Amino acid sequence: MAPKKSTIVLNVEQFIHDIEERPAIWNRNFHCNKAFLEQMWDELSGAHKLPSEVYVLDDGAEVDLDLGNYERFLDVTLHRDNNITTGKIYKLVIEKERTGEYLGKTVQVVPHITDAIQEWVERVAKTPVQGSTKPQVCVVELGGTIGDIEGMPFVEAFRQFQFRVKRENFCLAHVSLVPLPKATGEPKTKPTQSSVRELRGCGLSPDLIVCRSEKPIGLEVKEKISNFCHVGPDQVICIHDLNSIYHVPLLMEQNGVIEYLNERLQLNINMSKRTKCLQQWRDLARRTETVRREVCIAVVGKYTKFADSYASVVKALQHAALAVNRKLELVFIESCQLEEETMKTEPSKYHKEWQKLCESDGILVPGGFGSRGMEGKIRACQWARLNKKPLLGICLGLQAAVIEFARNVLGLKDANTTEIDPNTANALVIDMPEHHTGQLGGTMRLGKRTTVFADGPSVIRQLYGSPKTVEERHRHRYEVNPKYVPRLEEHGMRFVGTDEDKTRMEIIELSDHPYFVATQYHPEYLSRPLKPSPPFLGLILASVDRLPQYIQRGCRLSPRQLSDASSDEEENVVGLASATSSLRSLKISATPKNGVSNGCNGSTSTSDGEGACGGVDLTNGH
């Protein structure tokens, strides 16, 4: 069996150490290259340091990507208690023991840990996630692999829980991989049989077996899994690889999951309303298949080697692109490669990354921490500002845009952030009072906060629907230095959003630019498939030259903006629509023979009620 990555890393580290100690022996016997091994060590150890995104909830809880996916798909608001971890459970039990709630008894995994898990689930299951309505169903993801020591207390807790809440209130779905070896082309069910056998040995018998596979599995494979796993063939659901994740709920519906859960959990769902309920989702899934034209967005980040680092940002871009009927083409650019130092050491990489940036339709500068790659982000902001390229900055992206503007417009060449240079004479970005140096955990400005819009015209405010305030989620330790704000605004940088005390800058905007917007908060956390985030929607619209028309129509998408026609096709559509409008005016100007009016006035003027293609706007009630 091949060793694990961690083992390889440790061995390589020891190998390099031995080479340094006895170079002659190692070089003579193994002919190894120390530089190659050091490169291998950097790559292997770096794989363990690549950051995954931290998802932030309304109440400031920092959770993993799974909870973010649940929020996006279900369009609900989750809380810190929706994230149950081993650390939280053990801390809860230890605190109870310290306060004497166990009356001196020996604290054990069973029953104290398992009871704490069950009580936690029962309490959270009754907490509303949408308005004040009590939920009917609580979905619990028991992560990990059956048999892992980390998850065994949870497995035992749910074994007990099924008897605690009765069978009609407990349904278990087991997700398993069905591999398809290329050598044989035959789906292998042994991993599924083995995991189900392990699960049943722990006292849990699955009601549904969800099989993940590369290709659809046939009825014969389903029947085989049914025979060996003690479930009916209709309880084996195959979810194969699809073109879009938005097709997965529809595939599960086709497999009868709704009917099964309705009967199994006695939900009493009215099946006649089901088609109407999923119609918007069907339209969304269909749009992912039919969209033709692309929009290219360059993400200038620091962690681009690992896609999950910007998972929510990518999802928010996809939501906005689909809303305007565009296919998203993402280009990840390592910000380090845009710096002058790279031009000296690796000119080919430098020019390749700049070429990708220049060829993109829009630029997004996401958040991050640390000094690495900061100068590259600043240069990307400068290029977007000077070349009128649509740009959206998030968190560190806002700070980079402010520093760039101060350096190149205000003439403060040493402008910087105290995160990078604590002794800078012009600290444009400073740490906040909440930030406790040396104590990093949970000391940031986290969770949903209110942003107050300033008076005056603002593109980003119009994209939100022109409200006075907006609530978005934050995650940052540094902020724009308030004492530089008047000078920045004198030279054209507008701070159109602040906190309630008007001391913290939340949104910046350049008025003489197609779309140059940056936010201190993270709008990607509240983006939904059917409700894209306004800042991301503005970036996509500006990148396809549709933002002015969108704003003129009161921030509504016209038939022309929703169409997937090319520029030439659009001109033909407009011409055809104009001719059709003229013909319509001739036809409806005469009174019908029967004397009945058709409700149209026959006017040929292009009023606000008409669409961009000359047709009548159906959204205003005509």
| Residues involved in catalysis | 395, 522, 524
* Residues facing residue 298 across a β-bridge: 331, 363
Spatial distance between the Cα atoms of 615 and 607, rounded to a whole number of angstroms: 11
Report the distance separating Cα 127 and Cα 133, nearest Å: 9
For the residues of 142-160, what is the DSSP string, one character each? --S-TT-GGGHHHHHHHHH
The alpha-helical segments, DSSP class H, found in 136-231 are 152-164, 190-201, 219-229
**How far apart are alpha carbons 619 and 622 in whole angstroms?**
8
The residues near 333 (Cβ < 8 Å, ≥ 6 apart) are 298, 299, 300, 301, 304, 353, 356, 357, 380
What whole-number distance in Å separates Cα of residue 414 and Cα of residue 426?
A: 6
Closest CA to 374 of 399, 392, 351: 399
- What phi and psi values does residue 391 have, to the nearest 5 degrees? -140, 140
Amino acid sitting at position 295: V
CA-nearest of 79, 189, 70 to 127 is 79
**CA 544-545-550 angle, 5° bins:** 105
CA distance 48 to 217: 35
Question: How far is it, in rounded angstroms, from Cα 215 to Cα 225?
Answer: 16
